[in-house]
């Protein structure tokens, strides 16, 4: 494995994490001025703000999951939390504000790359037929050890 292959996952994780922390915090503090929005984009953003809960929930999710990425903790969970948020951000920019699509597309590329790198963590969720049972950790220890864990 060459140097670039070792550095790329970290770079993608940091870019994605920093993007979501910065833009998430901007949703609370407004330190990056927003460009003028087209009418449909303004109506959509206004509806999120008017709901009273959805915009703060989205921004808090962005900050928390972005912080998880920056700290290299719970990365697959962070990617899972950010996936639907990022799909909506990309769709917003592609359909309602195409001029601002560059950053969301870079973030989407980082998300997809990291999802591929961490694919083993997602494999259990992607099985078509799964039967409920004991947690994986319980299957790998003896009954005596399992009793000690509980």
Task: Name the residue ranges covered by the structural domains of the chain.
Answer: 3-149
Residues contacting 92, CB < 8 A, separation 6+? 41, 44, 104
The string of pLDDT tens digits covering residues 39-90 is 999 999 999 999 999 999 999 999 999 999 999 999 999 999 999 999 999 9
Three-class secondary structure of residue 130 per DSSP: coil
pTM, two decimal places = 0.85
How far, in Å, CA of 94 to CA of 102, rounded? 10
Question: How many Cβ atoms are within 10 Å of 108's Cβ, its own excluded?
Answer: 18
């Amino acid at each position: 494995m060459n140097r670039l292959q070792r550095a790329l996952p970290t770079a993608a994780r940091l870019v994605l994490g920093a993007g979501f922390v910065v833009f998430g915090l901007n949703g609370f503090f407004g330190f990056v001025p927003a460009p003028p929005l087209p009418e449909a984009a303004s109506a959509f953003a206004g509806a999120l703000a008017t709901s009273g809960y959805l915009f703060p929930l989205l921004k808090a999710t962005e900050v928390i999951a972005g912080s998880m990425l920056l700290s290299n903790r719970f990365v697959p969970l962070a990617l899972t939390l950010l996936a639907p948020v990022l799909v909506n951000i990309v769709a917003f920019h592609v359909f309602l504000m195409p001029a601002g699509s560059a950053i969301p597309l870079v973030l989407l590329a980082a998300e997809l790359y990291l999802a591929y790198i961490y694919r083993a963590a997602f494999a259990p969720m992607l099985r078509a037929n799964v039967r409920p049972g004991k947690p994986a950790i319980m299957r790998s220890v003896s009954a005596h050890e399992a009793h000690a864990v509980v």
